[in-house]
Amino acid sequence: MRAAIAFVAIGIVVVLGLVALVVVDADAEATEIADGGHGLQGVPAEFRAWILKADGECKQPAMTPALLAAQLYQESRFETSPGKATSSAGAQGPAQFMPGTWTTWGRDADGNGISSPWDIGDAVMAQGRMMCSLLGQAQSSGYGGDVRALALAGYNAGWGAVERYRGVPPKSFARGETYNYVQIILSTMPRFQGPGQLQVAGSGAGANALRKAATRIGTPYSWGGGGPGGPSTGFCDGVNGYLGGKCSASVTAGFDCSSLVQYAYWDFTQLPRVAAAQYGATSDRPVSRSQLQPGDLLFWSHGGQSSIYHVALYAGNGNVLHAPRTGKDVRVEPMNSAMPQKDYLGATRP
């Protein structure tokens, strides 16, 4: 019996917790690892960006990418086909939602016009929202033990079972299913914990924009795709957006270089959409290479402002965070090799 099965069978309605984008207080000094503190490894590529996004949208400190990954592995082994990810009780998809539970947590996260427990983005984001709410309940419950264990028990058996036992139900409950579910997930979390991809120190709009962009590491490049609300499919213009002779952008939800920058800064500064316009909007605040700070914008051009073709965020230590080109994903790379050095135009500070 999967997590959402027991949740419905017991008939408990979990109160919706506060789920929001993580925006670090601009007055707070902090050093963070932007992909959740423990990194992420060992998950299929199509799940990675969504796991990081779900983690980034939860304010509960106990939430980590590895927790979500280990839970998905236990629920479905990352399977997405109806033949392999449908339980005998009717739970569906990689996060194993029953239809009734899906109506509470499911949304069209990937923007394809359908809210489906079979869509990876929809399923992982629904899992993240439900777990975030349960972690909040666990934190405020006053019950002893690991809040992650309490939340996992609530996901598997319903929060009513946790309230009944004032903690994780014992082995005698449901033939040990919930007890074992919790123990297995917590014990397998380390296999999914990777090194943090990016450490961001300090405060202010630049550092916070870089933190926000870093939650999108692993998101595919999509020419013309993305914006302030997140990744979306793009388009092909006769030259750009193609991969292997086919229009990749029209079927790939992601960012291009300038939409990633626009997304990163939107909460602080509403920058224009394209790289040349972003340079024009910030060129009155130029920054020399020796004075670069996290979040500064770096531009590359074939010759002057009118020929700007790429923008990236300075990530510190000589690195940039950017969406490079079709066929690649959002990543951190050395500034000197991210784009041809001869094309470097300069940097600005929004």
* The pair of three-digit structure tokens given for residue 31, joined into one six-digit string: 């050093």
Q: What is the pLDDT of residues 306-345, one digit of tens each?
A: 999 999 999 998 999 999 999 988 888 899 989 999 999 9
Supply the pLDDT for residue 144: 86
Summarize the confidence of residues 242-256 as an average pLDDT: 92
Residue 137 has pLDDT above 90, yes or no: yes
pTM exceeding the 0.75 threshold for the entire prediction: no
The β-bridge partners of 199 are 33
As a whole number, mean pLDDT of residues 39-59 equals: 87
Query: Does residue 30 carry a pLDDT above 80?
Result: no
Dist. CA 250–CA 112, nearest whole Å = 12
pLDDT of residue 234: 95
Count CB-CB contacts under 10 A for residue 82.
10
Which residues, including other chains, have CB under 8 Å from residue 102's CB and lie 6 or more apart?
Answer: 4, 92, 115, 117, 126
What is the C-alpha to C-alpha distance for residues 315 and 317, in angstroms, rounded to an integer? 7
In the chain, the percentage of residues whose pLDDT exceeds 90 is 67
What's the confidence (pLDDT) of residue 218?
Answer: 76
CB atoms within 10 A of CB 89: 14
pLDDT score at 317 = 87
pLDDT of residue 16: 25
- What CA–CA distance (Å, rounded) separates 131 from 148? 9
Topology of the domain comprising 204-348 = endopeptidase fold (from Nostoc punctiforme) (3.90.1720)
Q: How high is the pLDDT of residue 154?
A: 97
31 pLDDT more than 50: no
Tell whether the model's pLDDT for residue 191 goes beyond 50: yes
pLDDT value of position 182: 96
All structural domains of the chain with their residue ranges:
3-192, 204-348
Neighbouring residues of 303: CB distance < 8 A, sequence distance ≥ 6: none
288-308 per-position pLDDT tens digit = 999 999 999 999 999 999 999
Is the pLDDT at 35 greater than 70? The verdict is no
Distance CA 274, CA 259 (A): 7
Distance, in Å, from the CA atom of 173 to the CA atom of 194, rounded to the nearest integer, reads 34
Does residue 6 register a pLDDT over 60?
A: no
The mean predicted confidence, pLDDT, of the chain is 86
Domain 3-192 belongs to what topology?
Lysozyme (1.10.530)
94-117 pLDDT, tens digit per residue, is 999 999 999 999 999 999 999 999
Pairwise CA distance, residues 233 & 242, whole Å: 13
pLDDT at position 19 is: 26
Distance CA 44, CA 46 (A): 5
Mean pLDDT (whole number) for 247-262? 94
Mean pLDDT for 154-159 is: 95
Q: Which residues pair with 92 in a beta bridge?
A: 86, 97
Q: Which residues of 14-33 are buried (b: 16+ CB within 10 A; e: fewer)?
A: beebebeebebeeeeeeebb
pLDDT band at 75 (very low <50, low <70, confident <90, very high): very high
